[in-house]
Chains A and B, each alone.
Chain A
Amino acid sequence: MAAASSRKRKGKIRWSKLYSFAACFRPLTSEERPAARELIGQPGFSRVVFCNEPHLHKRKPYKYPYNYISTTKYNVLTFLPRALFEQFRRVANFYFLLAAIFSLFSLAPFSRASLIAPLVFVVGISMLKEAVEDWHRFLQDLDVNNRTVKTHISNGVFVDKLWKELRVGDVVKVNKGEYFPSDLLLLSSSYEDGVCYVETMNLDGETNLKIKRCLEASLCLNEDEEFSKFKATVHCEDPNPNLYTFVGNIEFEKESYPLSPSQLLLRDSKLRNTDYIYGVVIFSGHDTKAVRNSTRSPSKRSRIERKMDHIIYILFSMLVLVSLVSSFGSLLYLRQDMVDWWYLQLPDDNKVNDLDDSNSEKYDDRFFNPSKPVQSAGLQFIRALILYGYLIPISLYVSIEVVKVLQTMLINKDIELYDDVTCKSVQARTSNLNEELGQVEMILSDKTGTLTCNQMEFRKCSIAGLSYGGDITEVDLAASMRMNTDFEPFEFSIDETDGATRSFEPFEFSVSSFSAQNGNARLTKTEGPVIKGFNFRDDRLTNKNWIHGSNLFDITMFFRVMALCHTGIPLEDDNHKTDKLSYEAESPEEVSFLIASQEFGFQFCRRTQSLMVLKEFDPSSMKEVEREYKLLNLLEFSSSRKRMSVIVSNEDGQIFLLCKGADSIIFDRLADNGKAYEQATTMHLSSYAEDGLRTLAFAFRTIEAAEYESWNTIFTQAKATIGPEREELLEQASEMIEKDLILLGVVAVEDKLQKGVPECIDKLAQAGLKIWLLTGDKRETAINIGFACSLLRQDMKQFHLSLSRDAESNNQVKDMKEDILQQIESSYKMVCEERNKEAPFGLVIDGKALEIALRGDVKDEFLQLAVNCASVICCRVSPKQKALITRLVKQYTGKTTLAIGDGANDVGMIQEADIGVGISGMEGMQAVMAGDLSLPQFRFLERLLIVHGHWCYQRISKMVLYFVYKNVAFGLTLFYYELYTSFSGEVLYDDWYMTMFNVMLTSLPVIALGVLEQDVSSDICLQFPALYQQGPRNVHFSWSRIIGWILNGVVSSLVIFLANIYILSPTAMRENGFVADIDSLGAITYTCIIWTVNCQIALITSHFTWIQHLSIWGSILLWYIFLLVYGALPPNFSGNAFQVLVEGIGSAPLYWMITVLVVVVSLLPYFIHIVIQRSYFPMDDHIIQEMEQCYKKYDVRDNEMWVREQRNSQRSTRIGFSARVDAKILSFNQQLQQKKLSIYRSVTNSPIYRSITTSPFS
């Protein structure tokens, strides 16, 4: 059905002919062709493709891979070795592997099981996580691989085939809106001249459509049936990652034709504006350019994790140190004393045996061999290394992984981060960057698709000097609302509101009337059906009311420009419910103009090769009439011309030039009599620009037939020219006719921001984050968006870095460098001079200048300037530059960067940044696949960073520090005990106690802390974004904290150990006179450790849920239960722990008393620390916690102090919505003061006032 209807439309228009400029590059490519032809068959250009004969590609040498794509890290076979390798690359894991190996040779002081079990557990969990993550990747691949495409099987029959089953040589038919399954050679399209339109956003981020064109020879292949006998052979280059080159030729019907990139349709790009195309698969699967281009995302580690490595190194050095002490001590004892200890029966050859030692020969204890003391000491050293291994938190990595997976689950399942439009939620694809989210200092953002929806809305216009559709901007509203609250009793209104215009004009305001208007504006916004692309409310224009306007001719002409000066085409609606048409055009801007003009009664309904048909509303007859305009010429838009014109003649034969373009360009070309509205329009322009709207000026002129004729010959001549000068000639020709214009007005379209973007940027700015905008778009657009999302504002000092024309034309790197350097230096000087003033700075730089600015010697200056600016906008940057900027910023500032983008052009940046975030709302998956996280919308970044990032940062840093503490506290007791056993390597605790320590008895509370800890609730986080600064300043994981915690661990271990041995030795511990033996002492000391470390975590935790309570107190209880159960086992299993609780220590009151005493004393240092800190050096979160507690009774939001502090916390921000509101309030206040003053003056100057004041009554 759809195919049939589209075929009807085909042939209406030779679409490509509209683009008079499109062909201008063709001569250049044809020049290159001969060279390319010679390359075929050479090494690197040896690929042969038999079109429509995929079976020939099943055997060598033409066997190419299927179109199957795999992005997984492992497969079934490689998983085990590779994942194991990954695991043991970690220092700590490798250490434990060695320990486990030594345990096999009876070197270890522990039993084998107790060494191997935790290692297997830890590594197993990590590998399980890897496997699960890889499984998800596999599922994603599966999804892509199982898409279908219509493929030719035989006799002109096309059936659906899975992407992965596609082979080189297959002929496929791709319909509108579908992605190309692999790199295709375009054979023909639904258009007669064989062009098709391709969106390459996923490849290079450019949103404009690209034209691809098939060979003339293959034009005939435009029906399914044609392919039954189609055969051709393609010789082309080998697979390579270069997106913009393609060399090859095709042999078709015994003729050879050269191929160029314009026949190649790349995988991951999308067919647009074309109903269908036929193509043949040239490169498939991993040979495609898109896949070749994608680099495997580098594995990223967070700062905390990197710092954690240093902590591990510190602990390792501690370990080596105490091991050395032990081995030296052992050496000394062995040499000096141990030989005298007859009860050891040491093998002794040197000295005269006091006892006749007959056994010594057959039993040789290598650890205690007085004849080889050094060897023994060496063995003791190894044993000590294993023994004190508890200093290294083996379960730290695995706990962190578990915690991060759980954190990720919490983030992914956060209902506030769920987008109900796309039904997607946040997906953290790798879980190891959670805490990094809390330390971000720079956000590098893409524009299109990230901040904006790539959709234009017609918002305002100024016709003949009157502004329409201008309701009050959000900033004004917010400012007035806040002023009303701030100055409640202030009643001051100046009624100068012009009845004719409801628009907001500077100097015409009244504070009290704002609130009323505020309500109205809100009301009107929600009224009426929403038309996509048209967000315009003004009763003076809509509903054909413009016919009552004063400048009817200008208004009509304005609408005509809007309806005629474009390259769009109308689309027929399949269901003719309304008489409204929808349009397709090269840029969304044009679409919005067409929709707007349709709304105003100038419906563009048809276009043929040379005719444009409008349905106009005729004011005189009050009827719709259809008028035909002959399209004489079309002067194409280009970025250098910044304007576009059409020359049309109406039914009366009058020739008009209708022109739209950038305001500066148009204003330069106005006729003297065309400047009537220039002043008013300029004012409107600036106010539109301040609101972040994109503006275009409309102008026209009438051309005499004679003038047109003479010009047309020049123009046609220029068009016919072939060669590099063609472009210049064309430009000259258009220059001749685009002059003496008459200004009609301007339109303002809104590059529609995604929902919540300004608010989000505002919050992020308050949190102290810097936001850089990196876009491939042109400068004007970028600046508009900068204004729209409050990155820029009018009172901001802006620096524009760009190459001057001379430097650019010279093309001398040195000149350009000097030029840029000079600009940077002068700007930086200004920054330095005005730093103390309030006005922030904004930096706008374009791609070419950036290329220079990022070179070796200039980059430092540039980055210095950029870092000092409140906001930075880089426009026209290539994907590579985006990645480069990201890397340089990261290196130069050393700050954590977050890159966010949606397209494949952002992939480099996303991979380069510390955290890469892909927007998943759009269709392309590249950014998402490359990113560490994916968000459905930009606005979720706010909650993700300020709430989850903040929390995760706190959680992980607390967790790591606690881990260090608990292992130091435990591990050192082992060392102290060595001092009392003559360094013989005896362990105070039972093997299984020690194994249980990290795995069971202390792991759950710390996991609960890592998952559930919150300093303040999420609401408060969002209300006080300044709290986020804790992360970038790294207050929770500074070296002083780390050292502090290690010291705390040392103190705790000392207290625990010394208290125990002094209390329990040598006297009896129970009333029945029994003394504490090694087993009792071990169990008691161990109890103290369990209590201390678990109570310590209770002191750290500030957010207690039942889970925390359960895990902390449960862990302690678990220890007793374990001891009970383990002790109840027969002595064969329980060994030394047999009945130790029941019979040995449990019945001794001293045991329980020691526990209490030791726990109190060992926690005292930390307790004192937090008391002092809370009382005298409170941190921000402490205060806010207290504030929250204090005012819980009342409604928090109503509290005056609460609101005041909230505002204070936002004070220092320089960009964002709030900053703009602040600036606005400031200017309002100044204006109010002036008004007051002038009124006061006028009053005091008035004679009545004078007479009153001079009267004797006063």
Chain B
Amino acid sequence: MSLCPHMQQRLFSHQCVQACQSLPACKPVLTPGWVVEIVDRYDIDCVPESSRMDKVSYIRDDSIPKNCSRFMKVHKYMKAPIYIYYQLDNYYQNHRRYVKSRSDKQLLDGQKYHDTSSCQPVESNNNRPIVPCGLIAWSLFNDTFEFIREGAELKVNRKNIAWKSDRGHKFGKNVYPFNFQNGTLIGGGKLNPEIPLSDQEDLIVWMRTSALPSFRKLYGRIEEDLDVDDVVVVNLTNNYNTYSFGGKKKLVLSTSSWLGGKNDFLGHACVFVGCSSLTLAIIFMLLHVKYRRPYGDTSYLPWNRKSFSG
């Protein structure tokens, strides 16, 4: 059923022209590219058999090491850069309470900005403000990944994974984490207080809240090509708690094309729309040939129609 990505794109461009009969659109020149995606769900497998009955207490127990190794086999040649995503399902980052719980001004100005009321319920601890405040920052994702191929560590570039405008204008260069995760209640990851927020790209990525409850976030880039049948060993620390609400955690390696990542829906939609447009065009053409209504045929005028009753 699944078409190869290349075919999809070819088909898409072809069908789109059909679909756009009414609105002429420019036809982009396509460069062939393979979009390869490896998805690995690790949230269950990374919990030891013994703890699987009560995953929540396992994840909350700080004394247990959360290291875990996964093996990923490369089915197709993957050209660098290969994007590393972590994917969370059933995680409502778009919940209104959650989305609102941040202070953009504080992110830019740090402790100079005092009003953190928008960050409720995580605005201060021990009567001192938290930087960065708010639920989003507090629940920062903190699983870590290491990639090893054939015994050698794959270099993961974790720079430039956030929007440049965010780094430049929304997160202050002189703002350092302060009083963060110091409370009794620890949500997610901690931040290095030595590094200004504008360089904490994990945080910046996390704070661009997702639109839907199932989302991916960029973790980094592998800047080496992966060959077919390469086996990548992933050493991860499974810190983040998705178990209490039954969320899934996935690790995704994906290349991208000019249209972004792998997207079956786009291809299917284009094929479907193209086909239906074509079918309709043919039907109307046939109808037009067979039951043609002469242009400006006056017999359709109401006063010429017998059934007309004024």
Contact = CB atoms under 8 A, between A and B. Distances in A.
A complexed with B: yes
Interface of A: 109, 337, 340-346, 354-360, 362-363, 365, 367-368, 768, 980-982, 984-986, 988, 1026, 1029, 1059, 1061-1082, 1095, 1130-1132, 1135, 1138-1139, 1142-1144, 1148-1150, 1153, 1156-1157, 1159-1161, 1163-1164, 1167-1168, 1171, 1175-1176, 1178, 1180, 1183-1184, 1186-1187, 1189-1191, 1201, 1205, 1208-1209, 1211-1212
Given A1078-B209, A1175-B293, A1168 B97 contact: no
Residue from B23, B211, B259 with most neighbouring chain A CB atoms (10 Å): B211
Given A345-B122, A356-B185, A1175-B288, A1156 B23 contact: yes
A1144 B212 CA distance: 17
B139 interface: yes
Contacts of B184: 356, 358
Given A1139-B163, A1150-B260, A1212 B221 contact: no
B207 to A, nearest CB: 9
B22 A1163 contact: yes
B165 A1072 contact: no
A360 B83 CA distance: 39
B23 A1061 contact: no
B32 interface: no
Given A354-B60, A1156-B20, 20 more contacts: A343-B138, A984-B95, A1062-B269, A1073-B81, A1073-B218, A1075-B210, A1078-B99, A1078-B210, A1149-B28, A1149-B258, A1157-B19, A1160-B23, A1160-B273, A1171-B284, A1180-B301, A1186-B296, A1201-B298, A1205-B298, A1208-B301, A1211-B303
Contacts of B108: 1131-1132
B163 A1073 contact: no
Contacts of B104: 1131-1132, 1135
A1067 B138 CA distance: 25
B193 interface: no
A151 B307 CA distance: 70
A337 B163 CA distance: 32
B27 to A, nearest CB: 11
A519 B299 CA distance: 37
Interface in B83-98: 83, 85, 87, 91-92, 94-98
Contacts of A359: 120-122, 185
B169 interface: yes
B121 A1073 contact: no
5 contacts: A342-B139, A1068-B218, A1071-B257, A1131-B104, A1143-B165
Nearest to A1099: B22
A1171 B211 CA distance: 38
Nearest to A330: B96
A1149 B92 CA distance: 28
A161 B304 CA distance: 66
Given A1176-B291, A1183-B298, A1075 B218 contact: yes
A1070 B256 contact: yes
B198 interface: no
Contacts of A1157: 16, 19, 269-270, 273
B53 to A, nearest CB: 16
Contact of B121 (A360, A985, A1059, A1076): A360
Nearest first, the 3 closest Cβ-Cβ pairs linking A and B are A1067-B261, A1073-B83, A1186-B296
Contacts of A1153: 16, 28, 259
B258 A1071 contact: yes
Contacts of B37: 1067
A1066 B266 contact: no
A358 B165 contact: no
A367 B287 CA distance: 57
Contacts of A1175: 284, 287-288, 293
A988 B25 CA distance: 28
A1212 B83 CA distance: 76
Nearest to B214: A1066
B307 to A, nearest CB: 13
**Residue in A354, A1077, A1131 with the greatest tally of chain B CB atoms within 10 Å:** A1077
For chain B, which range describes its interface: under 10, 10 to 19, 20 to 34, or 35 or more residues?
Answer: 35 or more
A362 B125 CA distance: 13
Contacts of B297: 1183
B277 interface: yes
Contact of A982 (B22, B60, B213, B258): B213
A1150 B188 CA distance: 33
Contact of A1066 (B215, B300, B310): B215
A232 B228 CA distance: 122
Nearest to B136: A343
A169 B309 CA distance: 65
B31 to A, nearest CB: 10
Given A341-B92, A1079-B208, A1171-B284, A1066 B87 contact: yes
B2 interface: no
A363 B300 CA distance: 71
Contacts of B209: 1077-1078
B79 interface: no
Contacts of A354: 56, 60, 244
A344 B254 contact: no
B256 A1076 contact: no
A460 B213 CA distance: 92
Contacts of B131: none
B48 interface: no
Interface string B143-168: 00000000000000000010111000
B69 to A, nearest CB: 25
B254 A1139 contact: no
Contacts of B19: 1157, 1160-1161
A82 B28 CA distance: 60
A1187 B302 contact: no
A1064 B96 CA distance: 21
A1075 B87 CA distance: 11
Given A342-B241, A1130-B169, A1135-B104, A1183 B300 contact: yes
Contact of A340 (B244, B270, B301): B244
A1081 B211 contact: yes
Contact of B296 (A356, A768, A1161, A1190): A1190
A1167 B22 contact: yes
Given A984-B96, A1077-B210, A1153-B259, A342 B87 contact: no
A1029 B310 contact: yes
Contacts of B211: 980, 988, 1061, 1064-1065, 1076-1078, 1080-1082
Given A340-B245, A354-B56, A1077 B208 contact: yes
Interface in B205-264: 208-218, 221, 241, 244-246, 254, 256-263
A1069 B260 contact: yes
B105 interface: yes
A1068 B300 contact: no
B135 A1065 contact: no
A821 B133 CA distance: 88
A981 B260 contact: no
B260 A1068 contact: yes
A1140 to B, nearest CB: 9
Given A980-B212, A1077-B211, A1160-B19, A1183 B245 contact: no
Contact of A1178 (B98, B139, B208, B293): B293
